Structure 1
Amino acid sequence: MSEIVDYELFEVPPRWLFLRVETDEGTVGWGEPVVEGRSKTVRTGVEELFESYLLGKEAGRIEDHWQAMYRGGFYRGGPVLMSAIAGVDQALWDVKGKELGVPVHDLLGGAARDRIRVYQWIGGDRPSDVAEQAREQVDAGFTALKMNATEEIERVDDPATVDAAATRLREVREAVGDEVGIGVDFHGRVSKPMAKRLVEALAPYDPMFVEEPVLSGNNDALPEIAAHTTTPIATGERMYSRWDFKEVFEDGAVDVIQPDLSHAGGITEVRKIAAMAEAYDVAMAPHCPLGPIALASCLQVDACSPNAFIQEQSLDIHYNEASDVLDYLADPSVFDYEDGYVQIPDAPGLGIEIDEEYVRQQAEEDVDWHNPVWRHADGSVAEW
C-alpha cells in the first residue's frame, strides 16, 4: 500500500481551499476542506491533522483514518474540524480510486444511477429580478431552481415582508410553469414565528422544498413549522455528522437532508448519513455552493445513494465573481449539464482532473472572502 508523504493547501478565488495529497508512489488526490469565510482557520486544522497523524500513514485505510481524526481528539465535531476531515477524506478516496483504476462510487457498491438532476441558483442574497432569471435558466435547460426567500427579516415582521416573499415565488412560478422545481431557501435567517407564517404563505405556489426554515440549533421547532405546511422541509447544511442528523430523523419533520460533502466529514460520513436517511424515508440533496472537488465528491455519493434526488451546484452562483467551478478543471466537459441533469463522472477517483498549474496561479491571488454582517433597522445584528 502507498503511504502519504506530502500535502499542499491552496486558497483560491472566489472563496475555496483546495488540498493536494501525494503518496510515495506519486499518486495525487484532491480534496476541498473549507468553511466559507473561515478558510484560514480550516487550513490550520488540516495542517494539524497531517503533521500530528497522517504523514507516513497508509493512504488506503480511509475508515481507520477517519475514526482516528474524529475520535483521536477529546473534543470533536463542529464546522472546522469536520470540514478539515472532509477535505482529507475526499483526497484519500481520490487517491484510492486512482490507484485501483475505478471511480469512487465503484468502491462504495457501484452506481445506482447514471446521472442526477441539478438545480440552478437565481437571485442573490437579497433576491430580486428572479422571474426573469428563472425564465433564462429554464431556457438554458434547467428543470429546477433555487432562490432565497427573503433578505434580512425581523424576529416578528410585518405582513408586507411575508407578502413580498410570496409575490416573488408566485412570479417565478408563473414565469416557469408547473413542471419546474423551485427550492426556497430561508437561509436560517428566519425566526420560528416568521417561518410558520412564511411556509403557509408560500405553499400555494408549490415550492419543491423550503430549506433551512430555522437555524440547525433550533431544529426542535421543525415539527411545529412542518405542521403549518405540506411543502417538504429541507435542512442540513450546518449539520456536521450522523449524530447531528439523528434527532431530525427521529422527530420525522424533515423530508430532505442537505449534508455538505466539504463540511460533514466527507464521503465516508455522508455515505453513512445517506443510508440513515434512507431508513427514515428521507430524501437527500447535498449542499454544494462550492468548487469542483466538492461537487465531484457529491456526485460520487449521489451515484450510490438511492435516496439522492437532486444536487446543488454553484456554476454562475452570485458568490463566484472572480473564478467559477469549471475554471479549475482540465476537462470542464465532465460537468456538462443536459436537460437539467449531470452525468456521474466515471474516471478513476473523484472522476475529475484538476488543472494544477491554474490552481497554483490562482493561489497567488489575495483571497479573503467573508460573508457580510447584516443589521436590522435598530442596529442589532441580523442573520445573514
Structure 2
Amino acid sequence: MLIRDVRITPVAFRDPPLLNAIGVHEPLVLRCIVRLVLDDGVVGLGECAGQRPQLDRLAAVRPHLIGMSVFDTNGIERTIGTVLRAGTPPGGTPDPMGARNAFSVIETACMDAQGRLTGRSVSELLGGAVRATVPFSAYLFYKWAEHPPLDGRPAIPDEWGAALDPAGVVDQAKAMIEEYGFRSIKLKGGVFPPDEEIAAVRALRAAFPDHPLRIDPNCAWTVETARRVAAELDGVLEYLEDPVPGIAGMARVAATAPMPLATNMCVVAPEHLPPAIAQDAVQVLLTDHHYWGGLRRTGELARLCATFGIGVSMHSNSHLGVSLAAMTHVAAATPELTYACDTHYPWNRRDDVVRPGVLRFADGGVPVPEGPGLGVELDDEVLDRLHRAYLAARREARDDTGYMRRFDPAFDPSPARW
C-alpha cells in the first residue's frame, strides 16, 4: 500500500479547430497521464493538463511521495503544499491553485489504487453513487472545417466540418445528439457578435424545443450587452455562463437577468466564494476536480453550494478517458448535482488512452463504470503513441490566441469586447 513510483507521461492528441473567445484550438492538445505504482504492483491512474507548469509541479513533488501510504491523502496533500511552497522563488508568491492542481491528479490516482486494493469503485469510496448514469450536455463549438495549411503543413480536416452560422451549429448539434443521445445543449460563444450568437441559440431552440440550452461567451461581453442578451433569451436559456468578467460584473448582470448565471471563471478558488455569495453574483457553479483540489474537495464544494442555494454543474476542458471516468464517478456521488455536466470527450474520443468498452454514452449520459477504482485500464500502445506525439510536437503550452493570429494577425482576445 506504499507508493513505489510516480510515472508522469505527457501526451499530445488531435483536436479540431474549435473557436472560442480567445482564439482557436491548436491541432494538438497537451495532457498528462499519471501512474501511481504501489509496492505490491497495483497501479492507480490520474489525468491532468500537460502544460509545462503542471509537469514541473509534478516532477518537484514526485520524489517526496515515494514511500507514502496511498491511503494517506491528507498527508500527501500536506506534502505537496509544503514542497511547492518551498520551491517558490525568492520574492515570489506561492501558488495555491497550482498546488491544488498537482494534488488533484495524485488524489485521483490514489483513489483509483484504493479502489483496486479494496474492490470498491471510486464512487463508492466517495460515499456511494446516487445515480447510475451521469448526464452530459452536447458541447457545441463554432469551428472551421479544417486546420488551415501552415508553415508547409497541409490542411488537417476532421469529421465534423464547419460550423460558422446558425445552420452549421444546428447541424453539429444534430450529429452529436444522433450519436450520443444528449438531452441538453451548450454552445461556446464569444466568437461572433452577440446578435449572431442569439440567432444560433434561437435556431437551436427551434430545432430542439425540449432540450435545455446554455451559452458560454467566456467573458467576451460587456455588462450592458449581457443584460440585453439575457433579456432577449428569457425563457430560452436554462443558464447563462460567464457572460462578463469578474464577480462584480457578474453581480450587475445577475441583478436583472431572468435566468441563473453560471461560472467556472470568476469563482475558481475557495477565496472567491464569500464575495460571490455576498453579491449574489453566481447562481450555478461549474465544479472541476482538476483545479478545485480533487474528487473529495469537489464533493465538499457541492455541499457548500447547496447550503447557499447555488446550483451545481461541471466544467470540462479537452480530456481523455481517465478524466472522463473520474468526472463520472464524482458526479455520480454528488447528490447536489443540478445540471448535466460538460464534456469535450466527443471531440477527442478517437485518441483515447483507455481501452474501449467501459466508457460509453447512452441517452446522453455515461453509466458509472462498475469495476474497482475508476474502472478503466490504459491502452499502453496508445499511451506510447501519444507520448511520442508529445515529444515530436516540442510544445509546452496551449496558445489559442497565438495560433489564431497566425491566420488573423489583428485578432483581439480582449474580454468585454462586445
Equivalent position of 1:44 in the other structure:
56
Of 260, 263, 266, which residue of structure 2 is paired with 1:235? 263
* Matches of 1:334 and 1:117, distance apart in 2: 16
Of 199, 217, 234, which residue of structure 2 is paired with 1:186? 217
Match for 1:143: what amino acid? R
Of 25, 28, 33, which residue of structure 2 is paired with 1:18? 33
Of 54, 79, 90, which residue of structure 1 is paired with 2:65? 54
Q: For 2:37, what is the secondary structure of its paired residue?
A: strand
Q: For 2:314, what is the secondary structure of its paired residue?
A: coil
Q: 1:300 to 1:238 in 2, by over 3 A?
A: farther
Contact residue 123 and residue 148 of structure 1 kept, 8 A: yes
Q: For 2:315, what is the secondary structure of its paired residue?
A: coil
Contact residue 127 and residue 147 of structure 1 kept, 8 A: no
Contact residue 119 and residue 312 of structure 1 kept, 8 A: yes
Deviation at 1:343, TM superposition (A): 1.0
Q: For 1:59, what is the secondary structure of its paired residue?
A: coil
* Matches of 1:79 and 1:291, distance apart in 2: 22
Contact residue 322 and residue 354 of structure 2 kept, 8 A: no
Equivalent position of 2:159 in the other structure:
none
Of 84, 88, 95, which residue of structure 1 is paired with 2:102? 84
Of 301, 304, 309, which residue of structure 1 is paired with 2:330? 301
Deviation at 1:21, TM superposition (A): 1.4
Contact residue 303 and residue 344 of structure 1 kept, 8 A: yes
Q: 1:105 to 1:54 in 2, by over 3 A?
A: same
Deviation at 1:10, TM superposition (A): 2.4
Match for 1:313: what amino acid? T
Deviation at 1:238, TM superposition (A): 6.6
Match for 2:287: what amino acid? P
Contact residue 87 and residue 266 of structure 1 kept, 8 A: yes
Of 287, 290, 295, which residue of structure 1 is paired with 2:315? 287
Equivalent position of 1:329 in the other structure:
354
Match for 1:33: what amino acid? C
Residue deviations 1:139-170 (CA, integer Å, cap 9, x gap): 33211111123316xxxxxxxx3322211111
1:30 aligns with 2:45: yes
Q: 1:109 to 1:4 in 2, by over 3 A?
A: same
Name structure 2 gaps, 5 residues minimum.
15-28, 87-92, 144-162
Q: 1:165 to 1:281 in 2, by over 3 A?
A: same
* Matches of 2:35 and 2:62, distance apart in 1: 12
Match for 1:110: what amino acid? G
Provide TM-score, normalisation by structure 2: 0.79
Of 229, 239, 243, which residue of structure 2 is paired with 1:198? 229
1:150 aligns with 2:174: no
Q: 1:358 to 1:136 in 2, by over 3 A?
A: closer
Contact residue 111 and residue 122 of structure 2 kept, 8 A: yes
Contact residue 219 and residue 248 of structure 1 kept, 8 A: yes
Of 97, 102, 115, which residue of structure 1 is paired with 2:120? 102
* Matches of 1:5 and 1:116, distance apart in 2: 32
Q: For 1:197, what is the secondary structure of its paired residue?
A: helix
Residue deviations 1:157-198 (CA, integer Å, cap 9, x gap): xxxx33222111111111111x10212011122233332232
Match for 1:210: what amino acid? L
| Farther-moved stretch of structure 1 (104-113 vs 77-86) | 77-86
Provide TM-score, normalisation by structure 1: 0.85
Match for 1:197: what amino acid? R
Match for 2:46: what amino acid? G
Number of residue pairs matched by the alignment: 362
Contact residue 247 and residue 281 of structure 2 kept, 8 A: no
Residue deviations 1:234-263 (CA, integer Å, cap 9, x gap): 112575433333432343332221122222
* Matches of 1:316 and 1:56, distance apart in 2: 38
Of 230, 255, 273, which residue of structure 2 is paired with 1:245? 273
Q: For 1:99, what is the secondary structure of its paired residue?
A: helix
* Matches of 1:371 and 1:78, distance apart in 2: 25
Contact residue 121 and residue 147 of structure 1 kept, 8 A: yes
Q: 1:345 to 1:325 in 2, by over 3 A?
A: farther
- 1:162-173 → structure 2 map (5 Å cutoff): 162-173=194-205
Match for 1:355: what amino acid? D
* Matches of 1:221 and 1:240, distance apart in 2: 16
| Farther-moved stretch of structure 1 (141-150 vs 41-50) | 141-150
Deviation at 1:296, TM superposition (A): 1.4
RMSD across aligned positions (CA): 2.6
Residue deviations 1:264-289 (CA, integer Å, cap 9, x gap): 21213212211211212222211122
Contact residue 354 and residue 376 of structure 2 kept, 8 A: yes
Q: 1:380 to 1:336 in 2, by over 3 A?
A: closer
Deviation at 1:200, TM superposition (A): 2.1
Q: For 1:122, what is the secondary structure of its paired residue?
A: strand
Deviation at 1:30, TM superposition (A): 1.3
Contact residue 10 and residue 360 of structure 1 kept, 8 A: no
1:214 aligns with 2:238: no
Q: For 1:342, what is the secondary structure of its paired residue?
A: strand
Equivalent position of 1:157 in the other structure:
none
Of 173, 178, 186, which residue of structure 2 is paired with 1:139? 178
Q: 1:76 to 1:94 in 2, by over 3 A?
A: farther
| Farther-moved stretch of structure 1 (349-358 vs 124-133) | 124-133
Deviation at 1:222, TM superposition (A): 1.7
Deviation at 1:123, TM superposition (A): 2.8
Q: For 1:273, what is the secondary structure of its paired residue?
A: helix
Deviation at 1:78, TM superposition (A): 5.3
Q: 1:246 to 1:71 in 2, by over 3 A?
A: farther
Equivalent position of 1:225 in the other structure:
253
* Matches of 2:53 and 2:249, distance apart in 1: 31
* Matches of 1:208 and 1:377, distance apart in 2: 36
Contact residue 214 and residue 238 of structure 2 kept, 8 A: yes
